Each structure stands twice: as C-alpha cells, then as structure tokens.
A and B are shown apart, each in its own frame.
Chain A
Amino acid sequence: AQSVTQLGSHVSVSEGALVLLRCNYSSSVPPYLFWYVQYPNQGLQLLLKYTTGATLVKGINGFEAEFKKSETSFHLTKPSAHMSDAAEYFCAVSDRGYSGNTPLVFGKGTRLSVIA
C-alpha cells in the first residue's frame, strides 16, 4: 500500500528565505509524485509532478522538487519565499498505473506561513 509522510504540519519562513517542505513516500511500484497547493477556501491546484525522466522537476510560481528514489523523498523547494506563497501544500503519490490510473494518496498537508 502506498503512503505519504509530510514532515511538519506547519512551517514558517521569512519573506525572501528558502522554502523547504519535506515529503517521503512509500510505494511498491515506481510512483507518480505530485505537489498540490491549496489557498484559503479554494480547491487544490497542481504545483508540479514527477512521472518519469528528469528527477528535478520545475513547477509554477518558482517551486521545484527533486525525486530521490534512494531516499524515497520528493521535497519541495523555492529559493525565495513570497507573501503570496502562504497556503497549504499537499504531497501525493499514485501508482504508474500500467493497467490504468490509480487514486492519489495524499499526505496530511503542511501549512506554510510567510513572515514579512
């Protein structure tokens, strides 16, 4: 069974500082990995995804994540935090779905606060 662990339910950074949100996954088959962002009172928006190929993936709003198979990790980073980055971030995993796509399994989320 797949699972996702997000380390830290709340992360606080200063504006302009590095953002690092941690995600570790468990999967018995090669995974698809995702980061979604949720702004207050809104739905989920895809930030970036890893499916295959290059292990460093770039997403929207300057975020990127690196797939490290040996560490079963997919940490999300951004070099310089902006006030508008304050939101909740969810890491998710699914099977590659050779016979069809499978449901996403989500982590519990990390709330990012950005301090001026």
Chain B
Amino acid sequence: NAGVTQTPKFQVLKTGQSMTLQCAQDMNHEYMSWYRQDPGMGLRLIHYSVGAGITDQGEVPNGYNVSRSTTEDFPLRLLSAAPSQTSVYFCASSYSKGRGNIQYFGAGTRLSVL
C-alpha cells in the first residue's frame, strides 16, 4: 500500500516554463488537495477536489491549475512558473465524509523557479 505518491521529488524551472506536479493515491479516497509550504507560513491550500470531475479553489490558487479525471490522480499544473512559486508542495488525500477527516500526505515536491 503506497499511500500518497508525489513526483518528482525535486524540480528546478526557469521563469515562464510550465510543468505538472503529479499526485496519486491508492486508498480510494474521494478527497484530494494541494498545499504549498513556505517558511514561517505553514501550509496553505492551493486547490482541492471532493471527487472525480469536481475541483475548487483554496487560499492561494493563482498561477495553478488542476483537474480530476480519476479518483486516483490529482495533478497540479504550473502554466507559467514564477519565482514566487518556489516552494515545497504537498498533496494530501482523505475520505470525503466522516472518518474524522484524517488527511494523508505525500512526501512533497521541492520546486525552485529561477
């Protein structure tokens, strides 16, 4: 049971480049979300999804795009990377109702935008 898997672990981009951060879970969780972690800021919600075909914005959605075509996968797209998007990105998943809303996190993707 792999849990939540994020790829890549590290990435360096140049300003203006695009890329997709991958997130996959094998726990049949309906709920998936993306956070970014910056020093002194804690984790801030970027986008989340309560099921396939349904997504919504979080606290800091600008510059990011998501879609959810399957229950297992929830990729995060940076359309035109900016230095302000240098951060550590975490994907999380949980059941959509009940179970105490326990969220399981991936190991993170460390992104640097030059």
User: A-side interface residues toward B, CB under 8 Å?
Assistant: 9, 32, 34, 36, 42-46, 49, 51, 90, 94, 97, 100-109
B78 within 8 A of A: no
A-B contact count, CB below 8 Å? 63
Grouping DSSP codes into helix (H, G, I), strand (E, B) and loop, the A interface class, with mixed when no group exceeds half, is: loop
Which residues of B in the span 73-114 have a Cβ within 8 Å of any Cβ on A? 90, 92, 94-98, 100-108
Q: How far is the CB of A110 from chain B (nearest CB, A)?
A: 10
Number of B interface residues at 8 Å Cβ cutoff, please give it. 28
Task: For the complex, give the distance between the alpha carbons of A22 and B55 in Å.
Answer: 33
Q: Which of B12-20, B42-50, B61-69 is the interface stretch?
A: B42-50
Residues in B with CB closer than 8 Å to A9 are 40
User: Is B40 touching A32 in the complex (CB atoms < 8 A)?
Assistant: no
Q: Please judge, given known A-B contacts A46-B102, A103-B33, A104-B103, whether A90 and B42 are in contact too, CB under 8 Å.
A: yes
Task: For the complex, give the distance between the alpha carbons of A90 and B102 in Å.
Answer: 14
Task: For the complex, give the distance between the alpha carbons of A48 and B18 in Å.
Answer: 38
Pick the residue among A36, A51, A101, A106 that contacts B94 (CB under 8 A): A101
- Against A, the Cβ 8 Å flags (1 = close, 0 = not) of B23-54 are 00000000101010000111111001010000
B58 within 8 A of A: yes
Q: How far is the CB of A40 from chain B (nearest CB, A)?
A: 12
Pick the residue among B42, B101, B107 that contacts A32 (CB under 8 A): B101
